[in-house]
């Protein structure tokens, strides 16, 4: 009997884990393929009629193809801000790790504040209005860069300490200029942490709801998380479409997760433990 205990506890753990962590996702998928009246019962049954394509089409067509526009906006914001983030934070992490000056203390303080402190939203809106970037995709991109710089820089700074300085010196002796050392020698060597940064930051920015809610109002600027938020009030009687929308918004992170599982895990732990 005693030998059976590890197996029994294992089986219980798997059963519980499945119920707690899988059931909500199965629930989302089930509601998404039901008819309107069936989904309104909110129960956990298989649909009588599978309406995957009908619901999919209905969600995409809603409000003049708003979801298509939202996917475009979200993708644009994510791709551009992650690209800028990678470049800026790698540069900062590199110089912070390599050169000891009094600016390091300032930069470290700024990083710490950026990780900890909530942004002052209304003054930021006022400022964005003054410089003409409120309600613009450009403004949103710059906000995402500013808010996520600290985390990316920390990842780069700790990784750069593992690259030997001999490489910089060798390049210097070969006559490379400062920017050439960075862009030709160092940046290619940062690839593993760059991948981590890309994955972690794209998911964070794609999933962001609060910042677009504040800085990007207006239906021409809608992002995928905002469509979900708008549909929540619009579709209270059409749960099938609401859940189809949730399903569609969950698909991109799911794909990223399947392909980059290991990098996400490595990046999350590295960033978290050192932060």
CB of 88 to another protein, least distance (A): 4
Q: Give the nearest distance from C-beta 50 to another protein in angstroms.
A: 20
Minimum Å distance from CB 145 to another protein? Answer: 5
First and final CA of the chain: distance in angstroms? 46
Contact 197, 155 (CB under 8 A): yes
Residue 72, exposed/middle/buried by CB under 10 A (0-12, 13-18, 19+)?
Answer: middle
Closest CB to another protein among 60 and 214?
214
Q: How far apart are CA 99 and CA 87, in angstroms?
A: 18
Contact predicate 223/70, CB 8 Å: yes
Instruction: List, as one string, the DSSP characters of 201-248.
Output: HHHHHHH--HHHHHH--SGGG--HHHHHHHHHHHTTT-HHHHHHHHHH
Q: How far is the CB of 257 from another protein (least distance, A)?
A: 5
For the CB of residue 13, give the shortest distance to another protein in the complex, in Å. Answer: 6
Q: Could you give the CA distance from residue 168 to residue 176 in angstroms, rounded to a whole number?
A: 9
């Amino acid at each position: 009997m005693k030998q059976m205990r590890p197996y029994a506890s294992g089986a219980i753990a798997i059963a519980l884990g499945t119920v707690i962590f899988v059931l909500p996702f199965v629930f989302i998928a089930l509601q998404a393929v039901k008819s309107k009246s069936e989904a309104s019962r909110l129960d956990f049954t298989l649909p009588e009629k599978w309406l995957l394509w009908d619901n999919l089409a209905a969600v995409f067509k809603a409000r003049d193809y708003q979801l298509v526009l939202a996917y475009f906006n979200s993708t644009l914001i994510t791709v551009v801000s992650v690209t800028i983030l990678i470049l800026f934070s790698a540069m900062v992490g590199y110089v912070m790790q390599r050169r000891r000056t009094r600016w390091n203390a300032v930069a470290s303080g700024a990083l710490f504040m950026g990780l900890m402190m909530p942004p002052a939203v209304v003054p930021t809106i006022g400022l964005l209005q003054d410089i003409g970037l409120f309600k613009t995709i450009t403004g949103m991109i710059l906000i995402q860069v500013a808010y996520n710089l600290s985390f990316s820089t920390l990842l780069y700074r700790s990784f750069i300490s593992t690259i030997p300085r001999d490489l910089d010196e060798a390049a210097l002796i070969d006559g490379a200029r400062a920017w050439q050392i960075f862009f030709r020698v160092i940046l290619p060597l940062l690839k593993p942490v760059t991948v981590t940064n890309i994955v972690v930051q794209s998911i964070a920015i794609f999933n962001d709801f609060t910042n677009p809610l504040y800085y990007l109002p207006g239906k021409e600027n809608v992002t995928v998380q905002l469509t979900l938020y708008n549909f929540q009030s619009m579709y209270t009687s059409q749960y099938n479409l609401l859940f189809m929308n949730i399903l569609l918004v969950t698909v991109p992170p799911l794909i990223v997760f399947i392909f980059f599982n290991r990098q996400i895990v490595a990046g999350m732990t590295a960033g978290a433990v050192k932060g």
